[in-house]
Structure 1
Amino acid sequence: MTEFHLNEAQRSLMAEALYLARFLIGQGAEHADPSLVQRRRDRIREIQHALQTQTHPVHRDARPVSAIPLAVRRAFVQALMLVSRYFTVGGLGWRGTLRSPTLSQYCPDPVPPDWHTPDRLLKLCDRFQLGDDCHDTLRHHLSDVDADIAVQRRLIAAVLDTVHLTVEGDAVPPREAFAALFQVLFGGILLNPDKLDGLFTPTQIYFCVDFPTGDRAEDWQALSVPEHQSRLRDLHHQIQTFNFSKFRRFPTFGPCDPATIDGRWVRQVCDRTGLSASEVREMLSKSVGVLPRADAEMVLIHDIWGPYWQLRFSQFESDYASLSDCDEPLRAGETAYTETGPLTCRELFQLQGDTVTL
């Protein structure tokens, strides 16, 4: 593969282009002299043309399908089929009390309807010369993904039903319903409904809490009753502070601890879904997010449409789980699995007399 690096002049042009782009898409351009705006538009076009003459050559000659590695062909077909499921795990049909222009206006690129069908998978496998074994493996994988999505949707529908909400509908849900859900999910913490916005999709639930920005007692008193303010402060600190243990709750990385979810309420959800209590607790810990209301518009589009598909369509969950104890000291028996076999941490060190070498 040919390596391509920007030289100093190209980096300078890129930096100038980014500066101009920020100006042109920002509020500054609205109030600036029109002639200045036009000059900067002309300049960014000049930079675009200059950089295009130095772009890395793209291989455009069609290659025989058989020349493409089998693993690449299989991954490509699998990705195409999974794209058709993207809508079902994202934010289509979201409802809530939060006014979000970003979520309201976001619309992912449409996918042809027949991409959901077994016939489309068969045609793609034929086009990319994937044999029957590959076809069967992909078909079973897609079936498992669809089943997981169906279970997740059933869970969220059951959770909403406990507070008399439904996924479908046009009416704005009452804040009191979200406050009731927050209470059972977070160990009985009572929130002032006026200080809480909530929204849900068929697969996720988010609480947007109006956390105070300072330590004024009256601000926290407006948020909750005195006996719960300390726990809310801890919750706020947990949200704002990074620690590796959050990776266990990919993709929300949220503070919903399975152990603090109300047991009697969990049994109601179990009765509605047929899931076990441990399944309900674990799934909700990865489906419920909490964020400051002030940050909601900035991050919700990413949280709803971004990481959640990675949970269903990729191996990211196990990748992130492996990071959850990164801040712990290495143990002598810590094992890495290499091409030549397992290798423990203690095997990396050798004792030679009074000296330890790596």
Structure 2
Amino acid sequence: MTEGNFVDYVKLHLTSGKGGKGSTHLHREKYIEKGGPDGGDGGRGGHVIVRGNENLWTLYHFKFKRHYKAEQGGNGSKGRSTGADGGDVFLDVPLGTVVRDTETQNVLFEITANNEEVILCKGGKGGRGNWHFKSPTNQTPRYAQPGLEGEHKDVTFELKVLADVGLVGFPNAGKSTLLSVITSAKPKIADYEFTTLKPNLGIVKHRDYQTFVMADIPGIIEGAAEGKGLGHYFLRHIERNSTLLFMVPADAKDIVKEYEILVDELRRYNPEMLDKDRFVAISKSDMLDDELQAEMKEELDEKLGVPYLFISSVAQKGIQELKDTLWKMLN
């Protein structure tokens, strides 16, 4: 999936169908001159329904169409026949989609299961036909109810990526390179910051045909929790990952401090993120000789406080060990 095709935020205007009109028909038949009212009810208007689809990974299919309207209900007819219900509109979304009211920004619901359906806009009720209104004093009512109007809603769909492992790090820490090495994903890789602007997903193949999903989240910068850079835009994707893999390059000025800044950004955005399992990968460690690595190891053992591993995506150093460790953490 190319970066431009990953859409994780759309605003839509939705309208459900109006209910059909009730009928004012009076029964007429050979030898029955005054058969009385027999107008049927109108059908209900179509609903707008949001449905989970596990085969979708993005909201790209909403990129070019932002207005959806369900069908109007059919009108009632003679013989107390009820009009047909209006056709429903189904909006298929990937699992992990949050639906908000655009105006208030309140979360309405969240789709997390395949084929889960939620009615977002209810269709208008059909009007009642004239046979409902006959009485001893009014035997031939010549009126019926019109159908009720449908609902209008402006909503925002927000996708939070569902992945087992989320890669967290500053720009240029080697996250995309790692993803390209341990999965068949092909993220854009370059030696400048913010090469990745959209999350990339890849499936990691482990031993015995076991797999797990890894997400390369765009780089976080200091102040992301306050929305600096594209902070909120990126951070929401990390909320769904069960394990967080922090990536800090071996040539960082202070590995421990860099890790602590990343953790602090997550804490300020949503303190619940700190309940997730954490692991640190020291990337680009092919640049270190054994002596320097041993020196760094002493310092990290003392100050880091979470398990870590020296890896190099380019030299394939520590990659299998990393996969084994992540698999253990996930299970």
Tell me if TM exceeds 0.5. Answer: no
- Structure whose CA Rg is larger: 2
TM-score using structure 1 length:
0.20
Structure with a larger share of its residues in strand:
2
Structure with a larger share of its residues in helix:
1
TM-score using structure 2 length:
0.22
